[in-house]
Amino acid sequence: MSISKRTLSAFIFKGLVILSSLSFALYLAADDSLKIGIMQDKRGMAEHFAPLIKYFDTKGVKVQLIGFNSYRNAAEKFRDGKIDAMFAGSGVAGTMILKGLAYPLVRPVSVGGWSTYWAVVLVPKSNNDFKMTPKYWSSKKIICSALASSGEFFCRAFLGKNTKLLIAGNHGNAISALAKGVADIAVVKNRVWDAVKARYPDLKKVAEDHGKNPNNTLIVSSKIDKNLADKVKKILLSLKNDNSPEAESLKKALKITGYIVTTKHDFSHTIPLIKHAGVDKNYDFGD
């Protein structure tokens, strides 16, 4: 019995301290929190994300929704590490990539089996002399969706970056405005047109883009923790083969079958397009 009572108690105390600090570190490591940015004034976004948040929760990742009020604001938040990730159309995603603020991670595959889209050009059926030339377009009123590679960016790439355009809130709005005669030409996302064209018997598609853009890509901040990024990627990629109720309800809600890996290569059409439209490192989303 060479060890005194006192030495023993000191040993036990030291052990306890080490144990508790270890468990705290473990707890910290387990508590991975993902801050997803969403456009504040878009209605129904919280409900839209509810199943996704729940799914992440089951996988041990806490999701926090961070609002931004403009894409410029979003870019700042990416830069400052206040947003980790964001689901974005190819135009915004491409711009963030071009600005070096984010990189792509995954994108959803729709129940229809597609994960890309492209621009289509619509005119009223009564229009018989449409020409896909800048001269013809210059005398027309053109409507398109803001910051979309199948909308505003397409048009600016085609006609020049300072062209006067009617900017609609979304592709649907652009189509209905065309139908009502507010504009002569609409440039919209083919997926939207395909979904609603039955409602617009008086419109017709007269042209479309030749390249494809990745749809609704999850981009992550360049400042995100690599581990967290990998974990998120892993979780989303596993969704396809996950049959848990949470997974099923998520797929149903978002009308997707799962996610696929997405890299800069997937933007090989998009990025040159937006560069043509005038987007560079200093682009500020037109605000």
Partner 1 sequence: MFFKHISIKFMIAVSVSVLVLMFSFSTFFIYDLKNIQEHQRDDFIKQLRSIRQEEETTFSNLIKAKGKVLVKTFATNQYENMKNYDYDAVEEMASNVQKNHLIASLNVKDPEGHVIFKGKENRKYDFRVPIEKEGDMAGYVEVALNLKPLKKRALKAANKINMLTLNSVKETELAVHRIIVITVICAGVGTLLICGIIYLIFFLTITRPLNSLRDAAEAIANGKLDSDIPVCSGNEICQLAQSLNHMLNSLRNEKLLKEEVERRKKIEKELVIAKENAEKYAQDALDAAKVKSDFLANMSHEIRTPMNGVIGMAELLSETDLSEEQVDYVKVICESGDSLLGIINDILDFSKIESGHMELEQIQVSLQDLIESVFDIFKRKASEKGIELIHYLEEDVPRYVKGDPGRIRQILVNLVSNAIKFTKKGEIFLSVRKNNENNGVAELLFSVKDTGIGIRHDQKEKLFKAFSQANVSTTRKYGGTGLGLAISQRLVHLMQGKIWFESEEGIGTEFLFTLKLPAIDLPVDGTIYSEQTENLRNKKVLIVDDNATNRKILSIQCRKWDMIPTAFSKAEDGLNALRKSEFDVGLLDMDLPEMDGVELAREIRKFVKKDKLPLMLISSVQKPTNVEFPGELFSFYIPKPVKQAHLFSALQRIFASHAESEKATNPRKIHRRDKIPELSRQYPLELLLAEDNPINIKLVDKIFSKMGYDFDVAKNGQEAVDMATAKNYDIIFMDCQMPEKSGYDATRELREKGVKSVIIAMTANALEEEEKKCRNAGMDDYLAKPVHISDLSAKITQWAEKPSSR
Run of H or E residues at 274:
helix 270-276
Considering only the stretches 21-29, 79-87, 89-97, 176-184, report the one whose residues sit in contact with partner 1 under the rule CB under 8 A: 176-184
Site map for partner 1, 186-225, x if CB under 8 A? ----------------------------------------
Q: Specify the residue, 145 or 217, whose C-beta has the smaller distance to partner 1.
A: 145
Contact 98, 280 (CB under 8 A): yes
In the list 96, 97, 143, 218, the residue contacting partner 1 (rule: CB under 8 A) is 143
Helices (H), 80-125: 90-98
In the list 149, 150, 173, 213, the residue contacting partner 1 (rule: CB under 8 A) is 173
- Phi-psi label, residue 232: left if phi above 0, alpha if psi -120 to 50, beta otherwise: alpha
Least Cβ distance, residue 183 to partner 1 (angstroms): 8
Give the end-to-end CA distance of the chain in Å, rounded to a whole number: 79
Least Cβ distance, residue 123 to partner 1 (angstroms): 15
Q: What are phi and psi of 256, to 5 degrees?
A: -130, 165
Name the DSSP class of 78: H
In the list 172, 246, 257, 276, the residue contacting partner 1 (rule: CB under 8 A) is 172
How many residues make up the chain in this entry? 287
Least Cβ distance, residue 194 to partner 1 (angstroms): 18
Q: What are phi and psi of 144, to 5 degrees?
A: -160, 165
> Which residues contact residue 110 at a Cβ distance below 8 angstroms, ignoring those fewer than 6 apart?
191, 215, 255, 256, 257
Give the residue carrying structure tokens 């002569």. 184
Q: How far apart are CA 79 and CA 221, in angstroms?
A: 7
In the list 45, 53, 65, 182, the residue contacting partner 1 (rule: CB under 8 A) is 182
174 part of the interface to partner 1, by CB under 8 A: yes
Q: Specify the residue, 34 or 144, whose C-beta has the smaller distance to partner 1.
A: 144
Considering only the stretches 23-31, 125-133, 171-179, 259-267, report the one whose residues sit in contact with partner 1 under the rule CB under 8 A: 171-179
181 part of the interface to partner 1, by CB under 8 A: yes
What residues does 168 pair with on adjacent strands?
145
168 part of the interface to partner 1, by CB under 8 A: yes
155 part of the interface to partner 1, by CB under 8 A: no
Residues lying near partner 1 in the complex (CB under 8 A): 143, 166, 168-170, 172-174, 176-177, 180-182
